[in-house]
Structure 1
Amino acid sequence: MNLEPIDPETAVELYVADRETECRRATIRSHRSRLSHFTRWCEKRGITNCNDLTGRLLHEYRIWRRNDGDLAPSSERCQMNTLRVFVRWLGTIDGCDPDLHLKVRSPKITPGEHARTEMLDSEHAEPMLAYLEKYEYATPQHVVLSLLWHTMLRVGAVVALDLRDYNREENFLAVVDRADTGTPIKNGKGGQRLVALSGQICTVLDDYIRDRRQEVTDDHGRKPLLTTSHGRMSRTTIRRYCYEYSRPCEIGLDCPHGMDPETCDYVPIDKASKCPSSVSPHPFRRGAITHYLANDVPETAVSQRANVSPDVLEQHYDQRTEKEKMEQRREFLGNI
């Protein structure tokens, strides 16, 4: 077998460059991040040539990565699946045994282990939105958190919205993939859709646009719907809003952890993400999906609105218990 020597860092850079033409930027970032651990391990082990990789070495890496990152089975599986794809590619350029990828093993996990369950439930979301309605009406925070809850949009889709995507006459938002001008959305063109809005949300949006929205354009000359003084609102800003207002003390509720707001370390905004009650944007989406399903909105309607397949909806988002599902079915059947 004629292999050509190549060091791990160079191999990863060539792999990333090759994949850039066929993968979305978010995917490329994820692969680069995961493979950075592999190159770090190679450096620790003194492996300077990928030609020397073996199935046993890759198994040692798997154990090291699991322990080094304290990984859950689902995270370990994701890491090793990326490594397998990389090693398969490496074999096509004579960087390792072309069959080596067959020896990269991933943990087998159950659907329950793969799904994450953190979510913002309706008992938490509703007082938060009521507080914003009363004390922060039509502010960027009010608009962003209301959209996340009522539309079930991903953060990337919220960031991507332009002013022209809001149709006030027909009460909907157009979710559009504009990857060529800096705002790709999940599933690309397949993620494009029209999302209906309630009259209440439209009124909030109207007042925000009239009184609060900063008239700016982004680097591509587009007019974002959600803005800051620097241009299009960023994912980081949206995450900060989520962490800040999902803390019970921020909206006038008692701390469920028995902390005094006068002395609590998590009261400063830059520490909000450390609060045990605060959540990032994705639990807003998971909680909203569960809320709509629990209130008898058909799964097909939720699936299409949230742009998620029924199988993924069931496995990753629907947090209703089996008993809750049974009782909902009972109500329908009782009417037949």
Structure 2
Amino acid sequence: MNTTPDTTDSNLEPISPEDARDLYLESRTDELAARSLELHEKHLDEFVSWCEDNGIENVNEIAGRTVHRFRLDIKTEFAQSTLSIYLSTIRQFVRFCESIDAVSTGTTEKIVLPTRERKTRTEMLEPEEATTILSYLRKYHYASRTHALMALLWHTGIRTGTVQSLDVNDLDTDRDRLRIRHRPETDTPLKNGNSAERYVALSPEVTEVLADYVAENRHEVTDEYGRDPLFTTKRGRPAKNSIRRNIYAATRPCTTGRECPHRKDPATCEAAQRTNTAAKCPSTVSGHPVRRGAITHFLRQDVPEKVVSDRMNVSQDVLDKHYDQRTEDEKAEQRRAYLSNL
């Protein structure tokens, strides 16, 4: 790969990507919240690994085209909004590198971020789509990892990070419930820490699907801490990106026998070919819209907001602001139904 900077700057001081990353993170320690700092570290770890894979040993070599190549290499793994967040972190990192004479001045201005999807805070998996997906998976891919994953996500509305944290012994088949625990010491923290620990009730049908998945299709592997993940790959506990790609793939219309709304031929459509390219389908969704759809579905079924709030581990204020997609008309009619019984 040609990694020569777009403009030559003889005043640059050599530094490795790893060292530059560490300096950047140290410089942001007092500015960023702990969670934000973790995300910056995650994004930069991926960029540093990419640099290593592409023979970039000196940050002086980073140019606008370098970041563009990185973007092309990872764009199939993320929705456009997520990709924009990743590249925003990289741009902040490059700006920092400019300030310490590690990257040519002006490089930051050459990094163009993809447009964030404006629908991300309202996008959700609709109940009709969820029903179609789960019916198809139950009929043709019963108790597969995808079937178990989608059934659990839709039935509980839990986060993908929570899914990743689950172990086999967290599933209580006798009592139809799931134990959710915060275990940061073994790399499976929950977003809201200890306060997110709880039991989540399962329907007998979902319990059965999960139990059959464990018995028939789960890879018999442990993670690096000797724990038995509920959801697995051949190598152990799946990364969050792996779970995200699984959801993208499962929500493609063509994957579950539906007609393509974009008039594409699945035999030639790039998004239909592989799990890694599924995010390119305009109709596919990630884990968060599945969670938003599940929460809205529970609310439409007259489940009290406090119950939904506790079950999904989301405050009622955040639920109202970011998850509840019922229209004002729907809410009014549901209130009328309650009042008519008084």
Q: TM-score range by the shorter chain?
A: 0.7 to 0.9
Equivalent position amino acid for 1:141 in 2: T
Equivalent position amino acid for 1:332 in 2: Y
| Pair 1:304-2:310 in alignment | yes
Equivalent position amino acid for 1:29 in 2: E
Single out whichever of 207-216 and 123-132 deviates more from structure 2.
207-216
Compute the displacement of 1:16 (Å): 4.5
| Pair 1:232-2:237 in alignment | yes
SS of 2:271's partner is coil
Equivalent position amino acid for 1:282 in 2: H
| Pair 1:14-2:26 in alignment | yes
Residue in 2 that maps onto 1:261: 266
TM-score, length-scaled by structure 2: 0.72
Q: Is the 8 Å Cα contact of residues 267 and 273 (structure 2) preserved in structure 1?
A: no
Q: Is the 8 Å Cα contact of residues 12 and 35 (structure 1) preserved in structure 2?
A: no
Residue in 1 that maps onto 2:91: 37
Residue in 2 that maps onto 1:160: 165
Q: Residues 131 and 185 (structure 1 numbering): CA distance in 2 closer, same or farther, change over 3 Å?
A: same
Compute the displacement of 1:14 (Å): 2.1
Equivalent residue for 1:319, pick from 306, 318, 325: 325
Residue in 2 that maps onto 1:277: 283
Aligned length: 277
Larger Rg: 1
Residue in 2 that maps onto 1:55: none
TM-score, length-scaled by structure 1: 0.73
Compute the displacement of 1:271 (Å): 2.2
Could you tell me how far apart the structure 1 residues matched to 2:36 and 2:141 are?
36
5 Å matches for 1:174-189?
174-189=179-194
Could you tell me how far apart the structure 1 residues matched to 2:167 and 2:37 are?
21
User: Among the aligned pairs, what percent are the same residue?
Assistant: 43
Q: 1:217-262 deviations in whole A, cap 9, x for unaligned?
A: 1100111111121111222221122111211111111112222323
Compute the displacement of 1:130 (Å): 0.4
Compute the displacement of 1:69 (Å): 3.1
Q: Residues 256 and 228 (structure 1 numbering): CA distance in 2 closer, same or farther, change over 3 Å?
A: same
CA RMSD of aligned residues (A): 3.2
Could you tell me how far apart the structure 1 residues matched to 2:200 and 2:336 are?
30
Residue in 1 that maps onto 2:222: 217
Residue in 2 that maps onto 1:251: 256
Q: 1:146-175 deviations in whole A, cap 9, x for unaligned?
A: 111111110111010011111111111111
SS of 1:297's partner is coil
